[in-house]
Structure 1
Amino acid sequence: MTLTPVKIPTLVKRMFSNYIWSIPTTSKIIYLTFDDGPTPGITNCTLDILKQYNAKATFFCIGNNIEKHPDIFQNIINSGHAIGNHTHNHIKGWKTKTKDYLKNIFEAQNVINSQIKTYHTERSRSVELETQNPELKTLNSELFRPPYGQIKPKQGKQLIGLGYKIIMWDVLSFDWDDTVSPEDCLNNVISKTTIGSIIVFHDSVKASKNMQYALPKFLEHFSKKGYSFESID
């Protein structure tokens, strides 16, 4: 277990208030996010679980993974979920020059935009279909999450200046941590989640055991309490 807390302290959110840590709302809404995909055998399983609970989420995808698995990426879009940029090679902002960091993000963005264009081309030929799928109009949102949460102030400032929204989180599941049991992973998200929370899971091989155990139970728990699950647009 790292020293990173499950619940991000209010002080940290205030210090970096130009980043988005949670979504202000008075409604019972939770914002699920998934990092590091698309991943064969895991992302599609995640989509199936979300569908069972009519839940929408935001997938912060790695550009290189999209290139390798465009069909899975298309499944994410086709299921009505939002897309975010998670760099092209999952690089650490603190250890990367700003110029190189931005270049890596733009490389991922080009891949994302290309795949979204393909989606629009294939599915927006019919006016009726476009009307039935309002997600078509929101896919180009420039959402970005820095891998490991590591981003230099200069990097963040430039990205925001370019129109990106930097999405951090309110609650970490620690699903990737092999010292955390599936039960503890579930407890992390259930005990710390509140209205408007942004939750981090991972649709990755490393996190799959904990995530696939915790996610359906998390969805069931909060569904029974009257919560809905929405994407970040």
Structure 2
Amino acid sequence: MLIERSPLLLQWVTPSLLWRVNTADKEVYLTFDDGPVPEVTPWVLDVLDQYDVKATFFCVGENVAKYPELFQKLQECGHSVGNHTYNHLKLYKTEPGIYRKNIQDAALTNKSSLFRPPHGQINRSMIQWLHAHKFKVVMWDVLPADYDKDRTGQQCFDTVKRKTRPGSIIVFHDSLKAQKNLMEALPLSIEYLLDQGWKFKTLI
């Protein structure tokens, strides 16, 4: 079963994580995971530029090392960046020491204090370690699941349309896996939200 919005109980038991920005204003935070990659990220940047929208990109360190010019362009275009580990590791399948080093390896290429765990996998000890190392852990409020091959771009857009609320953090993916759905859902989502008077902000 797809969970399109992070459950309130999960947010309640992890209050130190940022699931949604606390605001009553019509502000939304568009984020992208897993890039940068040359097949998708430049297209995303063009779309964001077309609508004059800024976003936050949680980058995989390995991709940053492969495509440093693209990573630099993200920042030159006025977007924020965050750490998404070096190899997109799953916490629950990785020895804690290896996972921590993977975060630190990513930090060598990406100095951001923002961190989002791949697949949303996090636990209490890792939260404590991240906070001790001055990372702000960012989760999400709206999950269109553009990476899901069983969904369509229209379904992804419908999720954004139904679930967005003040302060929502929406997560898309600038990845090959999500490319098809993203290319349909992203312009539709931005156009709809702008038409409805929403303002886009970056996480810092």
Distance 2:129 2:194 in 1: 39
Within 5 A, what are the aligned runs for 1:57-96?
57-96=55-94
Distance in structure 2 (CA, Å) of the matches to 1:214 and 1:4: 17
| 1:167 and 2:165 correspond | no
Which protein is bigger by CA-based radius of gyration? 1
Task: Write out per-residue CA displacement over residues 2-54 of structure 1, whole angstroms, 9 at most, x where no aligned residue.
Answer: x3400111111101111110001122110000000001121011011111221
2: CA distance, partners of 1:107 / 1:4: 32
Give the letter for the 1:181 counterpart: T
Q: Distance in 1 between matches of 2:67 and 2:187?
A: 24
Query: Quick one: distance in 1 between partners of 2:22 and 2:13?
Result: 17
Partner Cα separation in structure 2 for residue 26 and residue 67 of structure 1: 39
1:153 paired with 2:124, answer: yes
For residues 205-224 of structure 1, what are the structure 2 equivalents within 5 Å?
205-224=176-195
Q: Residue 104 of structure 2 is aligned with which of 100, 103, 106?
A: 106
Q: Deviations over 1:130-181 (max 9, x none)?
A: xxxxxxxxxxx40000000012211111101111010000010110000001
**Do 1:98 and 1:154's aligned partners in 2 also have CA atoms closer than 8 Å?**
no
1:152 corresponds to which letter in structure 2? N
Q: What residue ranges of structure 1 are gaps of 5+ in the alignment?
A: 114-140
The Cα of 1:88 is off from its aligned counterpart by: 0.2
1:6 aligned residue: 4
The aligned counterpart of 1:187 is 158
Give distance in 1, aligned partners of 2:113 and 2:163: 27
Where 1:219 maps in the other structure, the secondary structure is: helix
- Is the CA contact (8 Å cut-off) linking 1:28 and 1:226 kept in structure 2? yes
Tell me which residue corresponds to 1:30: 28
The DSSP-based 3-state class of the residue aligned with 1:176 is: coil
Measure, in 1, the Cα distance between the counterparts of 2:50 and 2:98.
41
Matched, 1:200 2:200: no
* Matches of 1:15 and 1:161, distance apart in 2: 19
**Secondary structure of 2:32's aligned partner:** strand
Query: Which ranges of structure 2 fall in alignment gaps of 5 or more residues?
Result: none
- Structure 2 distance, partners of 1:185, 1:66, is 27
Q: Counterparts of 1:16 and 1:152 in 2: how far apart (Å)?
A: 9
Letter of the 2:144 partner, please give it: S
- The 8 Å contact of residues 92 and 150 in structure 1, kept in 2 or not, is answered as yes
- Could you say which residue in structure 2 is the equivalent of 1:56? 54
Superposition TM-score, scaled by structure 2 size: 0.97
